[in-house]
Amino acid sequence: MTKFFRSTFGIATVVCFAFAVWALWTGGIFEGAMARDVRTSSVYVADGVDLDEAAAERVIGNRRLVVIVEEPGADLREGCDDVERAADGNLVLLLSQGDDEYDTYGCALLPDRDDENFGKAFVAEQIIKRGIDQFADRPREAIKVVAVNYDLLVRAGTVPDGAREISAPLPRFLIAGAAVLAVVLGAVGLNLAARRAARLAIRVQEQRTAAGDARSRLNAGAAVLAQQIIDLDGRHPASIIDDYVRLLDDIPDARTEAEYNALAKRVDALSERCRRVT
């Protein structure tokens, strides 16, 4: 055994085993179903809740927002504790349906939430749930209201702008690469894999940068439009609401600068219609 662990292969085996333990721990192997789900999804729907999870995810899109829909009577505060690591950096809203309203619990897992951003985190937790009780029997529509509230918070600077980045934990890549490279490819393969990953990361970053300005303009316009609709206080034609709901459905599907600009034109057109109503 001593000879084995002193050999190059033995050392590589030990390193791979250490990476494996690290990957399993940081990847959430000991977490519950809720935490594992929100690591890669913006919506968690408990068993027995009548809600199309995929449709709800499309409503939220790539916002730094996580909505957890629990069964009636669930301990929402405990759920917030369960996802603290998995949803770190996001604004989380837990809710469960009651008779005429939702039970809610918000947890703003924002950077520095316990220090200088404590006030912003508290405000975000209160605002994000505003107005959802009028859709007590329609959770998908309630989530659309949550998305509008989130955009208003972004516009006010209460929560940071930008898309949520969902990726597998870094240790998962390390263990996969280390195991293959130590046994088969060696140091040369490791260098090639690192170069390829760097080139891929650069291309992805360039694409995000190209669409970033257009996305920001769209988010700002959508936030202004949402406030206009709220200010109309029921005086808007039904067609405006119908067009606005369709717009919310289309926004999460946008990926390119051209798509964001096309949606921004729709926002401007709806905004002009709201101004004519006033």
Sheet containing strand 91-97, strands side by side: 43-45, 65-70, 91-97, 102-108
83/50 same-domain check:
yes
Residue 23 belongs to a domain: no
Q: Which domain does 216 fall in, by range?
A: 173-277
Rounded CA separation 171/178 (Å): 10
139/79 same-domain check:
yes
Q: Which of 141, 167, 193 is the last residue of a domain?
A: 167
Residue 20 belongs to a domain: no
Any idea what the Cα angle at residue 92 is, between residues 53 and 123, rounded to 5°?
Answer: 140
Paired tokens of 83: 């996802």
* DSSP symbol at 1: -
Over its length of 278 residues, how does the chain's per-residue pLDDT go in tens digits?
565 556 666 676 677 677 666 666 655 556 677 888 888 889 999 888 889 999 999 999 989 999 999 888 888 888 888 888 788 888 999 999 887 899 999 998 888 777 777 888 899 989 999 999 999 889 999 999 999 999 999 999 988 888 877 655 555 556 555 655 555 555 455 556 667 877 888 877 777 777 787 788 888 888 888 888 888 876 767 788 888 888 888 988 888 888 888 998 999 998 888 888 76
pLDDT the model gives residue 22: 67
148/219 same-domain check:
no
268/181 same-domain check:
yes
pLDDT the model gives residue 35: 81
Q: What is the CATH number of the domain that holds 155?
A: 3.10.310
153/248 same-domain check:
no
The full 3-state SS of 212-277, as one line of letters, equals: HHHHHHHHHHHHHHHHHHHHHCCCCCHHHHHHHHHHHHHHHHCCCHHHHHHHHHHHHHHHHHHHHH
Residue 244 belongs to a domain: yes
pLDDT the model gives residue 187: 46
* Number of domains into which the chain is organized: 2
147/99 same-domain check:
yes
pTM: 0.52
3-state secondary structure of 70: strand
Query: Based on C-alpha coordinates, what's the Rg of the chain?
Result: 23
pLDDT the model gives residue 143: 93
135/212 same-domain check:
no
Q: Which of 145, 167, 189 is the last residue of a domain?
A: 167
Q: Which of 112, 146, 167 is the last residue of a domain?
A: 167
